[in-house]
């Protein structure tokens, strides 16, 4: 089984992106009869989905996990839903800043993750990693990639979804005026590795996700 893992290039003036730092550490690893392949995506609205689709065609994965950086998140956030809108608070890496633009014209309002998100959270926590189900992937390039991924794979038997990860310690140390949570790239790598066995079982057996309360209070 092949699992494609994507991470983003640095953006917003950063020189690192935890999503790519974790993804690149996983590239080429073999776990639970799964081969992990990592691809870096540009943080550019006009290019991210093209690079993603080319990676899907090239690698033909049986599962896809897209990773992204989330400033201020304190845990590994398994995203539930992607929405069909780009509404950028800051410009992307080529200066584009779309406002209220659809990811896919005429597409559905939203797509849900097809990963076993609650099993993933439960597994992470049982292995000592902070984790939660997130109800929003934002409206920047992360959400665009999540929505585009689910749209491309909607008629295929390829489980896919998105995970937001905290800043790296080196990034958090540079932020002034706030104390932000962080997680090292090796910790992120190890957290993601502990998910591979349950993801492999999910893909092979098609088991249902857990039905436990992990909703938001507001």
Is residue 194 part of the annotated active site? The answer reads no
Tens of pLDDT, residue by residue over 42-60, are 999 999 999 999 999 999 9
Are 115 and 159 within 8 A, CB to CB? Answer: yes
Q: What is the C-alpha separation between 152 and 172, in angstroms, rounded? A: 34
Q: If you average pLDDT over residues 130-149, what whole number do you get?
A: 98
At residue 218, does pLDDT exceed 80? no
Residue bearing tokens 């691809």: 39
Q: What is the C-alpha separation between 157 and 30, in angstroms, rounded? A: 22
- Full-model pTM: 0.96
Determine which one of 34, 79, 86, 202 is catalytic.
Answer: 79
Q: What is the C-alpha separation between 194 and 188, in angstroms, rounded? A: 10
Are 196 and 159 within 8 A, CB to CB? Answer: no
At residue 68, does pLDDT exceed 90? yes
Domains annotated for the chain, with CATH where assigned, are: 2-205 (3.40.630.20)
Tens of pLDDT, residue by residue over 156-190, are 999 999 999 999 999 999 987 778 899 999 999 99
The backbone torsions φ and ψ at residue 26, rounded to the nearest 5 degrees and listed phi first, read -90, -15
Q: How are strands ordered across the β-sheet holding 159-165?
A: 30-31, 34-41, 2-8, 63-69, 159-165, 76-79, 131-134
Q: What is the C-alpha separation between 73 and 114, in angstroms, rounded? A: 22
Determine which one of 43, 86, 142, 202 is catalytic.
Answer: 142
First to last CA, the chain: 38
Is residue 79 part of the annotated active site? The answer reads yes
Determine which one of 164, 194, 202, 207 is catalytic.
Answer: 164
Q: If you average pLDDT over residues 114-130, what whole number do you get?
A: 98
Is residue 14 part of the annotated active site? The answer reads no
């Amino acid at each position: 089984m092949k699992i494609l893992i994507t991470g983003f290039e640095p953006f917003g003036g950063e020189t690192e992106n935890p999503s790519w730092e974790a993804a690149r550490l996983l590239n080429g690893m073999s776990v639970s009869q799964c081969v992990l392949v990592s691809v870096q995506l540009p943080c550019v609205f006009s290019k991210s989905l093209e690079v993603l689709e080319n990676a899907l065609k090239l690698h033909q994965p049986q599962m896809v996990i897209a990773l992204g950086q989330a400033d201020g998140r304190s845990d590994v956030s398994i995203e539930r839903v992607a929405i069909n809108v780009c509404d950028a608070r800051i410009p992307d890496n080529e200066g584009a800043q779309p406002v209220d633009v659809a990811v896919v014209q005429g597409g559905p309002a939203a797509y849900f993750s097809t990963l076993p998100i609650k099993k993933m959270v439960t597994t992470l926590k049982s292995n000592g990693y902070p984790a939660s189900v997130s109800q929003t992937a934002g409206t920047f390039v992360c959400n665009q990639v999540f929505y585009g991924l689910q749209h491309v794979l909607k008629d295929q038997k390829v489980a896919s979804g998105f995970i937001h990860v905290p800043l790296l310690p080196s990034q958090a140390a540079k932020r002034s005026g706030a104390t932000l949570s962080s997680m090292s790239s090796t910790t992120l790598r190890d957290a993601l590795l502990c998910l591979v066995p349950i993801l492999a079982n999910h893909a092979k057996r098609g088991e249902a996700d857990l039905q436990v309360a992990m909703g938001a209070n507001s």
